[in-house]
Every structure is written in C-alpha cells, then in structure tokens.
Chain A
Amino acid sequence: MTAIAEPVAARPPAETPLRRFWSEFAANRLALFGLAGFVAVATIALAAPWISPQNPYDLAKIDILDGRLAPGAVGMDGVRFWLGTDDQGRDMLSAIFYGLRISLGVGASSTVLAVTIGGVLGLLAAYAGGRVETLIMRVVDIQLSFPAILIALVLLAVLGQGLGKIVVALVAVQWAYYARTIRGTALVERRKEYIEAAECLALSRNRILFRHLLPNCLPPLIVVATVQVAHAIALEATLSFLGLGLPITEPSLGLLIANGYEYMLSGKYWISFFPGLALLAAIVSINLMADQLRDVLNPRLKA
C-alpha cells in the first residue's frame, strides 16, 4: 500500500478503484498513523531473527546470571540490554521482537483460516437456505453465546500447548463471526439482478457462489477481519498470560507480561511494561487502520 502512495502524489490522480480507495483511506491522518505503525510492527516481526541482538528462544544463549537487569545494563559478556532482561536473563528487546512475530503470525494465520472457513460456510448458508442454513446458523448462534475466552481455554486444555494448537483454538472461536457477517451480506446480494442473470445463464452453482456472490460480499468481511486480527492478537496474549499458550521457554508477549507481573510489586517494571507497550502498539495501529477501512468500504457511512 505504501508503494501506491508515491504515484498518487506524483501524478494527477486517475480514477482507478484502488486509487480512489487510497485517497479516501489517506484522508484520515490517524489511519495513516495506524498504517505506519502497523508497517513498522510487521517489519520488526518479519525481520526479528536478523535484527534481534539475541535469539531469546535459544537457551544456550541466555544466562540466568543476567537475570532481571534494568534497562541499559550491561550483561556478563559485555552486551548491553537496552530494555533490560527478564527473570531468566533474556534480552527484553529481542524477546519483544520475537514476541511480536508470534503475535502477528498467530493473529494473521488464524484470521485467514477463520475467514476461509467462516466465509465458505456463511456463503453456503445464505445461498442454499433451508436445512443447511438452519444447521450452520444454529451452530454459529450456539458458539457465539459462549465467551470466546472460555471456548479457547477449554480447547487448549484438551489439545495441550503449542503454536499450532493456539491457531486452532483461535480459528474455532472466530469463524462464527465471519459466517454470520457474510451470510447477512449474501442474503441481500443474492436477491439482486446480477445473480438472477447468472442463474438464468445456467452457470454452475460453484461459479455463482465464488465468482459472483463472494466478490460482492467481501468488503464487510475485510472490515470484520481487520478488527478480528487485533482481537485474535489480544486473545492469544490473554491465553499466554494465563499460561495456556506457548511453552515457557518460548515466551510470546502475553507470557512475557505474565512473567513480569510477578515482579511488579518489587519495582522491576520493565519485564511487563515494554511487552505491554509493544502489544498495545500492535493492536492500536491495527484498530486505527480497521476503523478507517470500515468507513471507506461501507457506502452507507458516506455522506
């Protein structure tokens, strides 16, 4: 998206949908700020193994004797820990970089999977109607009546620890939102003339579903998905905080916060504070982006 920014500034805008979208999106400074923040966080997450001073998950690299050093302190082998260390002697800066990698990775992958599953089921429910719709939508209703955290906790208690299992749990709690969203849109869209036209042409059901109906249902789905990425990240952090996410030797942001929480009363703020800040930055920047995306993609909100 940043790549598109330059031509907009350089040349007189030609009215392609993408350019129109960008100029509407860029109209809000906060959204641009969010975008910049997100790009920064995403870059850090992707580049973590190359830019981190230390591999915080390699137990041979961290030393308990460097434990709980204050920000700026120098460790035993002369390395400076800019954000201090946690109780195991892990460099907080590196741990946060890697933590962001996990958080964004888990957030993005679980959202993509949940959108796919929820999207297909919602579309099917809207198009097929009848029993299929009743079945799918009742499952959605039942699932949405439980708090997400409860479902995730139960699932993880059954499945055990691990990155893949967290993704499974997050997909399981999220797909219902997408199913419901896309069904709502699809119910409206499928009564429109272009679907009728496609049906008159005797196009196959799959073709109508995925080539005609789906593209027109996408905008609200994108909006929900962006907001849900932030939710997924927060939920992962919550699960990790409760000790149900990743192994303790590979802490994500939530687990770092949980570890530091024990030291809050004794004044070692940095173990919780900086990971908390990183989590906040990631979630707020995504939410700022999502808000503007919603405004741009929802015609009803335009004056």
Chain B
Amino acid sequence: MSNRRAIAAATALVLSAAAPAAAQTLTVGLGSEPSALDPHYHNLGPNNAMARHLFDTLILQDERQRLTPGLALSWKPLDDTTWEFKLRPNVKFHDGTAFAASDVAFTLKRAPDVPRSPASFGIYIKPITGVEIVDPLTIRFKTAAPYPLLPNDISTVAIVSQKHGENATTEDYNSCKAAVGTGPYKCVERVAGDRVVMARNDAYWGGAQPWQRVVFKPIKSAPTRVAALLAGDVDLIDDAPTADIERLKKDARLSVVQGVSNRVIYLHLDSDRAESPGIADKQGNPLKANPFKDPKVRKALSKAINRPAIVDRVMEGVAIPAGQLLPDGFFGVSSKLRVEPFDPEGARKLLAEAGYPNGFRVTLATPNDRYINDEKIAQAIAQMLTRIGIETKVDAMPGAVYFGRASKLEFSLMLVGWGSGTGEASSPLKSLLASFDQAKGMGAANRGRYSNPQMDRLLERALATVDDKGREALLQQATEVAIGDLGIVPLHFQVNTWAMKKAVKYDARTDEATLATGIKRAN
C-alpha cells in the first residue's frame, strides 16, 4: 500500500514538474498539410500560413488583411512607376546575419521562378521590372506602368535570406537547412505527413512569442482531428468539421471561433480546348466538340446547381452562397452580380438550345483534403448536374496529386477554391480569369484557360489606376464581364471554424491562416 502511495506521489510530482514545460509547447492540428516549407514553391493557403512563422514579408497583413509594417517601416510612390521602401533596421535572420535590401532583391528574383511550382508568386511579382538598392535599408521598385497594388501584392511574398537561399532547392527549405528567415519562429524539423516543429526566435524584432515551441500536426481526417482535440492531444484545430461544430460548441472545455473567409469555392471548366479529356457522350465515346466552350452550357451548369441546398445540407449552414469572386465588403465586389438562382428547367432548356438535348458525360475532379467538405460538395454537384442530363462522375484525390494534375490541364471540370492573398478582387481576377500568360504572370491558376480580351483590358487598366475609386470601378467591371461569361462558376464562400481548448484563444482570419503568432493564452 505504502509502495503504491509512493508511486502515486512520485507521479504527481513528475506531472506537476512537467506541466509548466508542457504549457510552453503549443500543438496545433491542421486540416491541410503544407506541401512545402519553401515559401515560394506553392502559393497555397497552408504553405503561406506556415511561411509566416519562419519568414516576414515587407508588409504584413492583419487578421482582416489590412496592411501593417513588416520588414518595411514605410513605403511610398516616388513617381508613377517607382515605389520606395524604407526597411526596418537591426533585423537579424535566425543565424544572426543582418537583414538588408540585398535579401529583398534576391527574394524578388527567386520567388517567381521556383522549379516545378504548381502555383507561383509570379502574379504578384512579375509587374516589377527593376529593383534598385539605394542603401542597405532603402530599396526602390520600378514598374512598366503605374502599379498601385504593389504594396498589397508584395505583402504576400516571404523575404528569404540571400546567404541561405542562393542555390537552395525546395528540398533544402523543407529540411529546414535553408529555411532561415527573420520570422518569430525558427524551423526545427519537418516530417512530411506528421509534423512541423518550430522554436521561438528570442531575437524577433516584433517581440518574443508566448510559446517556446510550436508543433503543427497535419491531421487530415476530420473526425480524427476532432478526437485529438477532445483527447487533449492538440490545443487548437483549424477546419473544424461542419458536422461536429454544434457538438464542439456545447463542450464546456472548448471554445469555437468562426469567420467568413476570402475564399470562393468554384468550378473551373475547360472553356478553351476543342476537345477536352473528361467529356464523352452518353454512350461513353469521346465528344468531338467541347461543350464547355459554349457559354450557354456553362450557364446551364450554373443554373443546375442549388447553392442554398449545398450550403444548408453539405456545409450545415456554415458557408455563404456565392455569385462572384469575393464576399460583400471586400474591395472590388460588384453590387450588380447576384447568386445564380436554382433553375433546373431553365438549365435543361439552355442545354437543348446549345445542341445537347440529351446531355453528355463529364468527370468532375476534386481534391478530398483541401477545402471544407470538398469531396461532398463535388458529389452533391454531380447529383444536380446528372439531374439536368450532364451525367457526372466524381474523381476525388488528395490535394497533393490534384493540383499538379489540374495545372497540367488533365481535367475538364474541376472543383477549386481561391483565397484572395491580397484581400481584394485583383488577385482572383489575375490568377483565375486573366488569359494565361506565363511571361506576364497572368492566369497562373487559370486551369480552364478562360480568355476574354475585354476582361484582360479592363483588368490591365484597373491594375494601373492609382485612384482607389476608379480602380474599384474597373475591377467591378472586369468581374462582371468574367462572371457574366462564367469563366468560373462560383459556388460559395467558406466560413472557417477553429476549435480550441478554453486555455487558448484565437481571432478568426479572413485569409484562413492558422498562425501560432495569433494564438494567445486566454485570461
């Protein structure tokens, strides 16, 4: 008996000793795994969120994507085509080397052209035609035309160290070897599929962080992620599954935070090629013509989709039906565009008018681990399209496979999401709807190869308009043209849900990022 008591006492001692140490470690369960720690490899939400711990940007975005000083203290246009940035002094990389303008210049050279990048940062950087280092803490950017969105665009690009980045491959960043930034956390290790571990950067210019160690655990299976939170293995999870939100809200040990994101979930259709790989007639013979080239067919498809039903049944109310690229309140949102009403009769009529009275067959490709309920949305859409005669098969695959194949144009119809990295409409317009042009960095994620010169011109003018009002009007017009053509078919805007132990708190972010820097101790 006394023996047992001694063991109990010893255990209690060990536990109490361990408790403060454990509280120094923050463990976060992520719904999506970043595909790399290389901050320039893949312009993808989870990657960008991860990069913000290790690296800084010249300009930071707060939780509502407003711009705040980062590695740059101030910025201003000198003339129509020149921007000057004053850099923050006394900033050190994790290895102690000083941060200087040369690192910025190096970053801008590296970021747009990382080999094998599935979605590059070119859309944000290519407009910069020249870089001039005035002194170690002053840098100027030259552009060919006026470029008022430069601060927004530059706020998406992580600044890397020239010393470590020269000749470094994506793998060097993944192994933490080259992932030496100025950010609040240092890279400790990355085990693909299991964890990313970071340690506090005590010399961080923005002040030291509350957590000594942060462990990010990708837990793709939603029930497993919830179970990990309930069991106390993780302190916070993102992408809390819609099916469990009610239950999580009721749990006294947990709190739940929700917020509309800037991410639109949409269908991209191959509106360019004469013959498209995933389309066949009802007997299964490849179709000689690509029906999605016809705007009527695209319109029919949009009408066939019951968006409120998807929001209500698949998303359990946690989403907002979409009629354009960004939810209300964002810069560049058009007041003229409405959510397409559900109209299966009208859809059938349009299909018949377009010459497909009996419909056709198509395969809808979808990731199954990237967006909230992605695979289920795709199935619901398959039902709705099948009902108007477009017999739809769903091909679901992990995001890691999906994005590579989508960018190689292997799909005719695909479910995708786009979060505006800059928090305004030019980002989705440039990336999803502008005519594909690698040299200009346009249409980087235009996997349907939609192309409309009128919309390209409007966008080009918008990007060169310094006046905010004028620019917003042009962005609205460009959006109206592109959505009028159904260059993409918007479905809904995501509402993101984070669930956490009562001991920590987090503010919902419109960019969906789960940042350890935003996770504070409650009380």
Contacts and interface: CB of A to CB of B under 8 A. Distances in A.
Interface in B221-238: 222-223, 226-227, 230
Given A67-B313, A87-B314, A265 B383 contact: no
B244 interface: yes
Contacts of A60: 383, 386-387
A68 B393 CA distance: 22
Interface stretch (A207-215, A256-264, A280-288): A256-264
B243 interface: yes
Interface stretch (A41-49, A171-179, A243-251, A294-302): A243-251
Contact of A249 (B247, B379, B384): B379
A143 interface: no
A262 B223 contact: yes
A79 B241 CA distance: 29
Interface in A39-78: 58-60, 62-65, 67-68
B395 A64 contact: no
A88 B223 contact: no
Contacts of B392: 59
Contacts of B466: none
B376 interface: yes
A248 B309 contact: no
A266 interface: yes
Contact of B223 (A58, A63, A247, A264): A264
Contact of B395 (A247, A261, A265, A268): A247
Contacts of A267: 247
B313 A59 contact: no
Interface in A83-138: 87-89
B244 A266 contact: yes
A65 B387 contact: no
Task: Name the residue in B244, B306, B313 with the highest tally of chain A Cβ atoms < 10 Å from its Cβ.
Answer: B313
A151 B222 CA distance: 26
Contact of B222 (A65, A68, A262): A262
Contacts of B391: 59
B227 A265 contact: yes
Contacts of A264: 223
Contacts of A261: 223
B395 A88 contact: no
A241 B241 CA distance: 19
B244 A265 contact: yes
Contacts of B386: 58-60
B247 A266 contact: yes
A153 to B, nearest CB: 13
Contact of A59 (B309, B310, B383): B383
Nearest to B376: A87
Interface string B374-416: 0110011011101100011111100000000000000000000
Contacts of B384: 64
Interface string B185-218: 0000000000000000000000000000000000
Task: Name the residue in B222, B226, B309, B383 with the highest tally of chain A Cβ atoms < 10 Å from its Cβ.
Answer: B383
Given A88-B379, A268-B243, 10 more contacts: A60-B387, A64-B314, A68-B313, A88-B383, A89-B383, A247-B395, A248-B396, A265-B226, A265-B230, A267-B247
Interface of B: 222-223, 226-227, 230, 241, 243-244, 246-247, 306, 309-310, 313-314, 368, 375-376, 379-380, 382-384, 386-387, 391-396
14 contacts: A58-B386, A59-B383, A60-B386, A64-B380, A64-B383, A65-B313, A67-B313, A243-B368, A247-B394, A248-B379, A249-B382, A249-B393, A266-B244, A267-B247
Nearest 3 A-B pairs (CB), nearest first? A59-B386, A64-B380, A59-B383
